Amino acid sequence: MKREYVNIGGRLPRVDGMVKAAGEAMYTGDLSLPGMLHGKLLRSPHPHARLLKVDTAPALTLEGVRAVITGEDTLKFLAGGIASPGNEPYLAFEKVRFVGDAVAAVAAVDEETAERALALIDVEYELLDPVLDPFAAMAPGSPLVHDDAPGNISFETDLSFGNAQRAFATCDYVRYDEFKTAPIRHGFIEPHAALASWDTSGRLTFWGSKQSPYFTYRNMAKALDIPMSKVRIMQSYLGGGFGGKNEMFNLDFCAALLSMKTRRPVRIVVSQEEVLYAYRQRHPAWIKLQSGFMKDGTLVAVDAEIVAEGGAYKGIGALSLYLMCTFLALPYRVANLRAKGCRVYTNTQPSCAMRGHGVPQVRYAAEVQLDMAARELGLDPLEIRLKNAIQSGDTTGNGFEITSCGLSETLLEARGIVERWRGETPADSEPHLKRGIGVASYGYLSGPRMAGHNTSAALIKVHEDGRVGLVTGSTDCGQGSDTVLSQIAAEVLGIHLDDVQYGGMDSEIVPLDPGVFGSRVTFITGNAVKWAAEDVRAQLAGVAAGLLDAEPDDLEFRDRRVFVRDEPDRGLPFAKLVKSAQYSGTGMTILGRGYWAPEDIDLPRFDTGMGNQSGAYSFGTQVAEVEVDTETGRVKVLRLAVSHDCGQPINEMLVEGQLEGSSIGGIGHTFTETIQRRRGQTMNASFLEYRMPTALDACPVEVTHTDTVDEMGPFGAKESGEGVQVAVMPALVSAVHDAVGVWFKEVPITPEVVVEALGRGAEAAQNADARRGADARRDSRDDGRSRDGESA
């Protein structure tokens, strides 16, 4: 049932908008402290080498250099790791494992001196054979990235329910395809930055560009061997994250250790070049996928083998792999699933979470294959999706409990959009320009359960002028969470959004929070804020009840007033009530506190993929129209549409912004973006050569909200922003197929790939697909899977 809200659901501008527009918002790299030193990191130019000697003496003699540290100066803490201990040193010792791995750090009076000092550090390497390809890495006899990881296996997930192999034999149609996705950049414009200040009391104050400050809080304490309570993490404005700023990085550690050594504040801002060659990427994935259907399109069984390139370190890769496997169970009903995933170490940049966290890779494969199957079965792509769409009340074979679900509604909405667009689309204007329309659907989670602490919390302080201060441990990376959380507080308290001052992160006073990942903030922190606001309301209602001679439960908080329900005149202004509470008698301090996490959520079983991962799941369908220049192979995206079930949108404008940004980002992932490497070296570590979409690549994005009300979500809200990126690649690939008749099983589809494929002939490609499908059916009977199929 829908309710009328004042602060929920509208198009309220974000609370930090004007400060950002004014240029006043301070990001970490904008901050400086008196006496501050500047730090720089020395990085390995080799992908795999033993460190024989790191001689810092020459650097220390340079005027202006205050300290130099190497791995030997550290406690050799190993970071990262979910489901098993981490293996990433903040400064390398013994070995370096990718081009960009940090071997030393310098603090100096200015950046220039620090840069010059790096050149004076004498490092002797014993070069080792690098492993640069995950399949070569798994081969017997391959060099090991980590001695304790035989076969370079970082992590394995084996999810199975039903009996896929047996079920294939009952299917009318089985097809097997191989897909590949590229390593992708997060693409935030603000480079990583850290500012650390150590004081004599043993306290470290740290400002960072961190999505999840409490990751850094814990790791910093462990890496420096100081009590956690002595680590004070402050959060500046954050210039985008998309998953790439979750973890604590070497620059964060080095700034802190250098500050300890020099007793000076130390700031390290890495260059965008370094971000692009020495930090994180989205896991590239190789996906072998077999799906079986009945004639009517019913999806019966799925069997997948996924190899994900993890790069040099573990990071949070176990979760990435787990998500890749489990999201073959969503958003369609399937009774038989086997998903075997393997994350493999190579001597390249470490892979981590990125917008959609593993799910875009596998769903690209699964959605495209679904379209291929629909075509072979003579079904409409929307019909086959409607046929299999998961429904409210379903539980997937691995245990995802689907509460609210508007997937079918989004598909029906998409059908209308496709019909309208087909009607509007003119005939191809020139013979070499071909237009096409494609669709794809997605499901996503609203906060993944992690192995550790999972509760978000909020504190609300009421000021005597009737305004409130709100803090939580969730950071706003740009997605708008400060605004959404403030709206929730305002709604509960019956005040205006302007009355809520969202305070920044400061681990000294802000409650513990898992972090900002997996689309958890609105859903989980939002509930904590709601609870904290209700706590405030209850305290104030107690006071008001006395003043108004009414029962607390009969009071309504609305429009900055508190009054007896249905008797608006019997009340008083919110601010006056606050003052009364604070000034009367012994006086009250009104502090609201709330904490929340979904109950009945299972601890993730990373190895088997079983269990309910989230308290709610969002859904949606993406529609894309493209124009392919068949001569140059360039694809122009003409327009996109998203029909989206995010429950009750807290802020329609911000939800739109999420969907637009996620969608346009997906255009880059589909057509232009890939990290190019030679001999383990990232060759395109610049925004010139790593081609993200520009304003000229953007297109209109039609957004329709298919509102459900999620019983668990705050005011009925669920995830928005990550999920939609899951469906962009397959919708675009399907649109390209609609235009030119070729399926692309590897992204990005660069112009040269398109031209080559068109040159080979669409018909030949189709025949090959059909052959492979037939082969796969044969293979499925004898469980043969050794063949290496080719992909377009």
List 203, 558, 565, 691, residue binding another protein (CB under 8 A):
691
What's the alpha-carbon Rg for the chain, to the nearest Å? 27
Is 517 an interacting residue with respect to another protein (CB under 8 A)? Answer: no
User: Taking the complex as a whole, how short is the minimal distance between the CB of residue 694 and another protein, in angstroms?
Assistant: 5
Of the candidates 60, 226, 610, 692, which one interacts with another protein according to CB under 8 A?
A: 692
Query: What DSSP assignment string belongs to 571-620?
Result: EEEHHHHHHHHHHSTT----EEEEEE--SSPPPP-TTT--S---S-EEEE
Q: Are residues 134 and 347 in contact, defined by beta-carbon separation less than 8 angstroms?
A: no
Residue 504 makes contact with another protein by CB under 8 A = no
What is the C-alpha to C-alpha distance for residues 739 and 736, in angstroms, rounded to an integer?
5
Q: Which is nearer to another protein, 84 or 686 (CB)?
A: 686
- Asked whether position 210 contacts another protein by CB under 8 A, the answer is no
Q: Give the one residue of 68, 269, 458, 624 binding another protein; rule: CB under 8 A.
A: 269
Tell which one of 86, 292, 331, 633 touches another protein (CB under 8 A). 633
In the range 649-668, which residues lie near another protein by CB under 8 A? 653-654, 656-657, 660-665
Look at residues 325, 573, 578 and name the one whose alpha carbon lies nearest to residue 464: 578
Q: List strands edge to edge, sheet with 433-445.
A: 433-445, 617-629, 635-645, 701-705
- Inter-helix orientation angle 751-760/762-782, to 10°: 90
> Measured between alpha carbons, how far is 162 from 300 in angstroms, rounded to an integer?
10
Name residues contacting another protein, limited to 178-197 (CB under 8 A).
186-191
Residue 446 Cβ vs another protein, minimum distance, rounded to whole Å: 20
Q: Which is nearer to another protein, 660 or 779 (CB)?
A: 660
Nearer to another protein, 603 or 683 (CB): 683
Q: Which is nearer to another protein, 111 or 383 (CB)?
A: 111
Beta strands at 95-96 and 173-180: parallel, antiparallel or unpaired: unpaired
The single residue among 246, 750, 780, 791 that binds another protein, judged by CB under 8 A, is: 750
Task: Mark 221-254 as b/e (b = at least 16 C-beta within 10 Å).
Answer: bbbbebeeebbbbbbbbbbbbbbbbbbbbbbbbb
- The span from the first CA to the last CA of the chain, in angstroms, equals 48
Smallest separation, CB 572 to another protein (Å): 26
What CA–CA distance (Å, rounded) separates 194 from 198? 13
Structure tokens at 710: 């999620």
What distances in angstroms separate CA 555 from CA 184, 378, 570, one per listed residue?
53, 60, 10
Q: Is 163 in the site for another protein (CB under 8 A)?
A: no
Cα distance between residue 507 and residue 232, in whole Å: 5
DSSP β-ladder status, 37-43 and 266-269: parallel
Residue 244 CB, nearest approach to another protein (Å):
10
299: left (phi over 0), alpha (psi -120 to 50) or beta: beta
For another protein, the closer of residues 106 and 220 by Cβ is 106
Residue range at the interface with another protein (CB under 8 A); choices 43-51, 464-472, 538-546, 783-791:
43-51
Q: Compute the distance between CA of residue 400 and CA of residue 452 in angstroms, rounded to an integer.
A: 19
Stretch that binds another protein, among 251-259, 342-350, 534-542, 694-702 (CB under 8 A): 694-702
How many whole angstroms separate alpha carbon 266 and alpha carbon 641?
Answer: 46
- Near another protein in 212-241, by CB under 8 A: 237-241
Interaction of residue 61 with another protein, rule CB under 8 A: no
Q: Taking CB under 8 A as the criterion, which residues in 469-498 touch another protein? A: 477-480
- Is residue 755 within the footprint of another protein (CB under 8 A)? yes
Q: Smallest gap, in angstroms, from Cβ of residue 468 to another protein?
A: 17
3-class DSSP state of 269:
strand
Does the protein bind another protein through residue 172 (CB under 8 A)?
no
Q: How far is CA 40 from CA 65, 114, 506, 511, in A?
A: 11, 6, 26, 32
DSSP-assigned states of every residue in 323-353 = HHHHTTSSSB--SEEEEEEEEEE-SSPPEE-
Chain positions 567 to 626 lying near another protein, rule: CB under 8 A, are: none
Residue 761 touching another protein (CB under 8 A): no
Number of residues that bind another protein (CB under 8 A): 92
- What secondary structure letter does DSSP report for 91? S
Window 138 to 157, contacts with another protein (CB under 8 A): none
Of 25 and 377, nearer to another protein (C-beta) is 25
H helix or E strand, kind and range, residue 657: helix 652-671
- Measured from the CB of residue 503, what is the shortest distance to another protein in angstroms? 16
Minimum Å distance from CB 629 to another protein? Answer: 9
Q: Minimum CB separation from another protein for residue 26, in Å?
A: 7
Which region among 9-17, 442-450, 575-583, 770-778 touches another protein (by CB under 8 A)? 9-17
Residues 349-388 that bind another protein (CB under 8 A): none
**Restricting to residues 667-686, which ones interact with another protein according to CB under 8 A?**
672, 679, 681, 683-686
Cβ atoms of residues 362 and 305 within 8 Å:
no
Decide whether 238 or 540 has the Cβ nearer to another protein.
Answer: 238
Minimum CB distance to another protein, residue 756 (Å): 7
Q: Cβ 218 to another protein, closest distance in Å?
A: 25
Query: Strand 701-705 and strand 635-645: pairing?
Result: parallel
CB 127 → another protein: shortest distance, Å? 9
> Of 30, 305, 376, 534, which lies in the binding site for another protein, with binding defined by CB under 8 A?
30
69 in Cβ contact with 259 (< 8 Å): no
Distance in Å, CB of 22 to another protein, minimum:
5
* Residues 97-136 interacting with another protein (rule: CB under 8 A): 99-100, 111-112, 115
Q: Give the per-residue contact string, 402-441, with another protein (x = CB under 8 A; - = no).
A: ---------------------------xxxx---------
Q: Which residues contact 657 (CB under 8 A, 6 or more apart)?
A: 480
Site for another protein in 525-564 (CB under 8 A): none
SS3 at position 523: helix
Contact with another protein (CB under 8 A) among 61, 163, 170, 632: 632
CB 745 to another protein: min, Å: 19
